[in-house]
Amino acid sequence: MDKVYVEGMRFYGYHGAFKEENELGQRFYCDIIMELDAEKPGTTDDLDDTVNYALVYESAKEVLEGEPVKLVETLTRKVASLILGRFDIVHAVTVKVTKPDPPIPGHYDSVAVEIRRERGFDGT
C-alpha cells in the first residue's frame, strides 16, 4: 500500500480534562498518514483521483478546533473516522495528535496519541 503524509498541522482548541484547558485553550498538532493505491493518481495526474491535502487539513481542523472533548484519544479517533468517511480512496489511516506542554505535574515536552484504523474497523 502506498502512503500519503500530511504532517505538522497546528491548531488551537479547547479540549482537556481540566476546566482551565476548556477556558483558555491550547495548541494541538496533528500528523496523518493515509494508506491508498497511488497508481491511478500517479498515472492520471488528476487531483480528483487522490486525496486533496487541503481537505485533509480542513477535516483535522474541524475536529481539533471543534466541539471540546476531554481526551486526546477522542480527538484522534474522531479525525481518523472523518478521514475514512470522506475519502473513499483511503484504505487505512494513522493519526497522531500531540498536545504540547500538557498541564500536568512534572516536565513534559508533550503527550500524544497515535491510532491506526482500517476501512470497516469502525463501520465505514
If you count them, how many residues does the chain have? Answer: 124
Query: Distance between CA 88 and CA 5 in Å, rounded?
Result: 16
**6 with 32: CB under 8 angstroms?**
yes
**11 with 76: CB under 8 angstroms?**
no
Catalytic residue among 3, 61, 96, 99: 99
The answer to whether residue 96 is catalytic is: no
What DSSP character marks residue 46? -
Strand partners, 28: 11
Output the CA torsion sign for 97, 32, 91, 61.
positive
Q: Cite the active site residues.
A: 99
